[in-house]
Amino acid sequence: MLQKKPLILVTNDDGITAPGIRMLIRIMNEIGDVVVVAPDKPQSAMGHAITINDALYCDPIIIEKNALQKEYSCSGTPVDCVKMATRQILNRKPDLCVSGINHGSNSAINVIYSGTMSAAVEAGIEGIPAIGFSLLDYSIDANFEPATTYVKTIVENVLLNGLPKGVILNVNIPRLEKKEIKGIKICRQADAHWAEKFDKRTNPMGREYYWLSGEFINEDKGEDTDEWALQNGYISIVPTQFDLTAHYFIKELNNWTLHD
């Protein structure tokens, strides 16, 4: 299908040794020349954080013997990894950046907290076609096998069709056996949020501290949402953008009494 081997940058937010990225590397090795630049430790929920007040380390690392891919372990955030890859490590702009496969959902509002998706978004900002993949299973022994053919199909479509400037794909995969997955649905981001609770505790020195926890609340029942797709056995793809302007509200704002 493709004439020459594409250069594929692989990253994630669960860290370079996470089973999800190891699977993604294996799939990408079937498609292109793979370079991995990923965090040296878990960096979940880091959003679009970058490291501006600390030094960054980024070293070559061998995780698999006789591996096809080149790998670099980076002390920074997922977004740092993408910047480091494109500006320091790679000799040319990659043809694709894939991030994940994340252990856990990045559907709905989770896209904004997600290090996995922020890495893909950063690649998109740099003009690289990019996809974030997430499986709805947090566990270390999550089964990524049912997702593999779908991941390959989506990647091949992006390499073939390209993506418009400013658009990346947010792919979420339900925790199902392969035969239970009904297919792929193109969706919008569900209008859901977290209802946080803070678990208040006292440390051995007598000082109070808190753990963030919470419940995911989805009151958006739209059948065009990623949440609906995932709950109904589909893989969801949300085209995602980083122009955050609420264009529709500009006209209304111009009617406010903000001017002298």
**Sites for a copy of itself among residues 163-182 (CB under 8 A):** 164, 166-167, 170
- Residues 245, 246, 250: CA angle, nearest 5 degrees: 100
HSE-up (13 A, CA, CB side) for residue 1: 13
Question: In this complex, which beta carbon is closest to a copy of itself, that of residue 65 or of residue 183?
Answer: 183
Residue 3 in contact with a copy of itself, rule: CB under 8 A = no
Binding residues for a copy of itself restricted to 84-113, rule: CB under 8 A:
84, 87-88, 109, 111-113
Which of 62, 66, 207, 219 forms a contact with a copy of itself (CB under 8 A)?
Answer: 207
Angstrom distance (rounded) from CA 212 to CA 170: 25
**What residues between 52 and 81 interact with a copy of itself by CB under 8 A?**
52-53, 55-59, 77, 79-80
- Whether residue 119 contacts residue 78, with contact meaning beta carbons closer than 8 Å, is answered with yes
Q: By CB under 8 A, how many residues form the interface with a copy of itself?
A: 80
Q: In the complex, what is the shortest distance from the CB of residue 255 to a copy of itself, in angstroms, rounded to a whole number? A: 9
Cβ neighbors of 158 (< 8 A, separation 6 or more) are 96, 129, 131, 169
Residues in region 111-140 near a copy of itself by CB under 8 A: 111-113, 118, 121, 125-126
Interface residue with a copy of itself among 26, 33, 69, 191 (CB under 8 A) is: 191
**Left, alpha or beta for 183 (phi > 0: left; psi -120 to 50: alpha)?**
left
